[in-house]
Amino acid sequence: MTQRIAILSGRGGTGKSLLTCGIGEALADLGKTVLLVDGSQGLRSLELYMGIQEGILYSVPDLSAGKCSVADVLVQDEARTNLWLLPASQNLPTDQNLKENYGKALTIIQDGGEDVPAFDFILTDCGGSLESQLTLASLSDRPVLVVTPDPAGLRAADKLRKLTGKEPEMIINRFDSRDLARHILPSFHELQDILPLSPLGIFEENDGLRQAVLTGGDIAREMPEFNNTAERILGQNVPFPLMPEQVDREAPSGMPQVPESSGKRESFWNRIFSRGK
Ligand SMILES: Nc1ncnc2c1ncn2[C@@H]1O[C@H](COP(=O)(O)OP(=O)(O)OP(=O)(O)O)[C@@H](O)[C@H]1O
Ligand SMILES: [Mg+2]
C-alpha cells in the first residue's frame, strides 16, 4: 500500500525541499519506489534539488484536468530509476484550486494503470503559505514537521502541531551543536517537553549539503542521517547519532557560555510560547 508523507513547516526556507529530495533518494536507495510531489504551486523548484534538467512538459493541473496521462507528467530521476517527480505548475497562483488539483492528481496516480509505477511512498514537499501547506498535508497519511531550533521555527512548529489534524512527526533541521554547547539552544529533552513529537531525523547545519544544492550534487549521499531517517520511516529502530544530549556541552574556547540556570534560558521559552501569561 502506498504511504503518503507530507513535509511541512508552515514557513519558508526551513529545508523542506532539500529534505524531501534527500529522504526520497534514501528511500529509493533502500529499494522503495518513490514519488516526490512538488507542492509549490506557482514556483516549482524540486526538480532543481533532484538535478533533473529536462523532461518537464506537464504538471499537476494538467493531470487533474485530464490534459495528459500519468506517464506524460511524471519525470523519472536520472540516477535512480525507482524515483519519480510530479512537477508543480509554474504558472498558477499559489492557492488556486490547490486541494482539487493535488487531490485529483494523486488519486489518478494511485489508481494506477498501465505504465504507472506502484509507489511505496509519495512524499509531498509542501510549499507556499501556512494555509497551502496545511491543505497539502490534509491529503497525506503522515504529516512531518520540519523544525528549525530557533524561536520563530519552534513557535511555527507549535502552531502547526495543533492544526495538522493528525499527530505529526518531526525532523529537526539546521541544528548547530555550537549553540547547544553555549546553552543557547534548548536541549533535546526540553524540546520534547514543549513539542512532544516523535523525531524522525536530526540534521545539522552542513556546508556539504549547502554545496550539494548549489552544484546539483547527490543530496542523500552527503549525510548518513538521510539513510537513517529513511530507515526510521520504514519502522526500524535506528539510534540518533546526533542526539543533542550527547553533544559535548562545553563551549568551544572563546565562546561565551550561558549557564544552565540562567534566566536567559527561561526567557527563551517565555519569548516563544508566552508561558506563564
Ligand atoms: N541542514 C542544512 N545545512 C545547510 N544548508 C541547509 C540545510 N537545510 C537547508 N539548507 C539550505 O537552506 C536553503 C533553503 O532550503 P530549502 O529550499 O530546502 O527550504 P524550503 O523550506 O523548501 O524553502 P521554501 O519554503 O522557500 O520552499 C537552501 O539553500 C538549502 O541549501
Ligand atoms: Mg521549497
Q: What is the pLDDT of residues 234-249, one digit of tens each?
A: 999 998 876 545 444 4
With a Cβ cut-off of 6 Å, ligand 1 is lined by: 9, 12-18, 40, 127, 173-174, 203, 205-206, 209-210, 213
Please tell me whether residue 88 adopts helix, strand or coil conformation.
coil
- Kindly give the number of the ligand 1 atom that is closest to the alpha carbon of 20: 18
CA distance 33 to 245: 35
Looking at the CA of 148, name the nearest ligand.
1
DSSP-assigned letter for residue 186: P
- Kindly give the number of the ligand 1 atom that is closest to the alpha carbon of 203: 1
Q: Which domains does the chain have, with CATH numbers?
A: 3-273 (3.40.50.300)
pTM, two decimals, is 0.90
Confidence of residue 183 (pLDDT cuts 50, 70, 90): low
Q: What is the pLDDT of residues 5-27, one digit of tens each?
A: 999 998 899 999 999 999 999 99
Q: What's the 173 CA to ligand 1 centre distance in angstroms?
A: 9
The dihedral region occupied by 235, where left means phi > 0, alpha psi between -120 and 50, and beta the remainder, is left
The residue ranges of DSSP E strands in 83-212, in sequence order, are 83-86, 121-126, 142-147, 169-175, 199-204
Contact 183, 265 (CB under 8 A): yes
